[in-house]
Structure 1
Amino acid sequence: MEAIQYQPIQWPEPPIVGTNPIYLCPPIWSHEDRYNGQPIIPNVILGPYHLVRKPEFIQETQISYVICIRDPSERLFLREMPLPGVEFCFLDVPADVNKSNIIPYFNQVNQLLSQAIEQGRTTLLCCSDGIDKSASFMSAFLMSAYELTAPNAITFVQNRRYCATPSPQGYRIKLLEYELLCSAQKSAGGTMSPGETKCSRRREDDEMVEDLVPGVRPIATAVGAANKRAR
């Protein structure tokens, strides 16, 4: 079988802070595209976990960091692979999303992503299929870092990975709840640049993140620094 030839990544522009509305402009898409990964913003690719089993994909895209969102039942088949130079981070999120507090998990991944972006690392954000869990966490990052509403963040992701579909009775509801929190943080802290939104209410969740992943820096610091470098 002829090896798949991966095209060099064309990094898309990140969203403009507070863009509203974002219209659905689907990319040219085929069913097979859901099995590949798509760049969402510079240095972040969204896709299914099985991509880590394709060394040629990891090499071509220069991925050095994998953040995998999974529920506890998936530990057996979503696990670390022996890939030189690639760091893995697995986040076990409760399967019953609608009954769980997912906000601290959103904040944790936001901080991990922002640190990787600051360091110039290419990250694969994934879940089993790259459709529900990881797409929802990508949306949450855009909401926090770029002040997007939940519908706009989801649409932004779908404009790059068309199959991305946060579950209507699960993650979509949690993203709407997260939108209220982000809005409250913005009101409390005033208008800030991407990733620099601050709110005392967040400290509790940040402390939980620090307990889960020691050394994680607040998203305000990491994304803010990355934005300054970009300027």
Structure 2
Amino acid sequence: MDINGASSAALSSRQTLDSNGGYAEEYLLPTNHLGGRGADGIGSINNSGREGLGPMGGGNNEWKYEMRREAQQIIPGLYLGPFQSSTNLTKMKLMGITHVLCIRDKKESSLIYPRFPTEFRYMTLDISDNTDQNLITIFPKCRDFIEEAMTMGGTVLAHCNGGIALSPAIVVGYLMWKFNLSADNALAYVQSKRYCVSTMSFQNQFKEYEPIQMAQKMVQNAGFGAGMGNVNKRQALDEEDGEEDEEDRRRKQPMRSELISDISMD
């Protein structure tokens, strides 16, 4: 069970009627703790909100090879794609892109760089596509960048060179944190939206990140809310104790002075 009271490892499903009159299976993932329908609900995303993850897959759209050259919407406010998807200004504006998370290998810096720095806000990170690269230390800054954009009502395009490993790994980490998902569920969800994703180099790090992000959410939800109230209560009690101690010292001080005077006179 995750901290929201719902299992983050289990996928729920439902049958929906498709355009051909048949039935299609849709897989749903749990809403996050900010969800508008309750923390333990199973929600899907529509155009009116971002409260949770929607059905896995792209509906009735069959994945085609050329789609790997385009960006796919992972959740409202977050697209994932290759570098090529960040070079078409007209299309990016039609998608509503406001922020670009540019992930590249250092040796690609001369080819992959912000193309429209006056049009969008960029974060550019040099990351190696190998097992030695520590992604866990990079997740927080990427998470903050995406969260800031969404809070402003913006839309983020996360991309690397091919949109297959580096930027998908960052998006997987973000979904794990945002929705309290297991590594397997987060990866499955991203792959259902962008079929060509392959993040085998980072699988072990995803597993290591699971307990870390869960602990962070526990501190954030339990500690920041009720915990801050307890801190304030403790501070108030400490202040009261301090006042009482000072009053006791005042009462006791004359007694000690008189005693010292009596002893001196003797």
Shorter-normalised TM-score: what interval?
0.5 to 0.7
In the TM superposition, what are the counterparts of 1:72-221 in structure 2 within 5 Å? 72-82=106-116, 84-96=118-130, 98-166=131-199, 168=200, 170-186=201-217
The secondary structure found in structure 2 opposite 1:66 is: strand
The 1:121/1:186 distance shift into structure 2, 3 A limit, reads closer
Aligned with 2:73 (options 31, 36, 39)? 39
Alpha carbons 2:70, 2:84 under 8 Å: kept: no
Higher relative contact order (CA 8 A, sep 6+): 1
Alignment: residue pair count: 178
Please report how far the alpha carbon of residue 184 of structure 1 lies from its aligned counterpart in structure 2 after TM superposition.
Answer: 3.3
Superposed CA RMSD in Å reads 2.9
| Structure 2 CA distance for partners of 1:189 and 1:124, relative to 1, 3 Å | closer
| TM superposition shift of 1:82 | 3.3
Counterpart contact for 1:72–1:95, Cα < 8 Å: no
> For structure 2, which runs of at least 5 residues remain unmatched after alignment?
1-27, 33-39, 43-52, 228-266
Contact 1:49 1:129 (C-alpha < 8 Å) held by counterparts = yes
- Counterpart amino acid of 2:31? I
Distance 1:19 1:147, change over 3 A: farther
Contact 2:168 2:190 in 1 (8 A): yes
Would the aligned equivalents of 1:14 and 1:41 in 2 still touch at CA under 8 Å? no
Deviation of 1:155 after TM superposition, in Å, equals 0.8
CA deviation profile, 1:12-62 (whole Å, cap 9, x unmatched): x98523899x9x954321001111111111111110111122122112112
Contact 1:63 1:122 in 2 (8 A): yes
Q: Which amino acid aligns with 1:42?
A: P
**How high is the TM-score relative to the length of structure 2?**
0.60
The alpha carbon displacement at 1:79 in A equals 0.9
Q: For 1:216-231, list aligned pairs within 5 A.
A: none
Partner Cα separation in structure 2 for residue 107 and residue 53 of structure 1: 26
Identity of aligned residues (%): 27
Shift of 1:157: 0.9
Paired residue type of 2:94: E
Superposition deviation, residue 188 in structure 1: 5.2
Aligned residue for 2:195, secondary structure, equals coil
C-alpha change, 1:95 and 1:79, in structure 2 (3 Å) is: same
Aligned AA (2:168): A
Mapped to 1, the partners of 2:41 and 2:189 lie a distance apart of 10
Q: CA contact under 8 A between 1:64 and 1:122: conserved in structure 2?
A: yes
Instruction: Quote the residue 1:16 is aligned against.
Output: 31
SS in structure 2 of the partner of residue 130 of structure 1: coil
Aligned to 1:100, what secondary structure does the other structure show? coil
After superposition, residues 41-80 of structure 1 pair within 5 angstroms as 41-80=75-114
Q: Deviations over 1:104-133 (max 9, x none)?
A: 111110111011110111110111011111
Per-residue deviation, residues 144-194 of structure 1 (Å, max 9, x unmatched) = 11100000001111121111221x2x21221111113123334555669xx
One-letter amino acid of the structure 2 residue matched with residue 46 of structure 1: L
Amino acid in the other structure paired with 1:177: E
- Secondary structure (helix, strand or coil) at the match of 1:125 reads strand
Larger Rg: 2
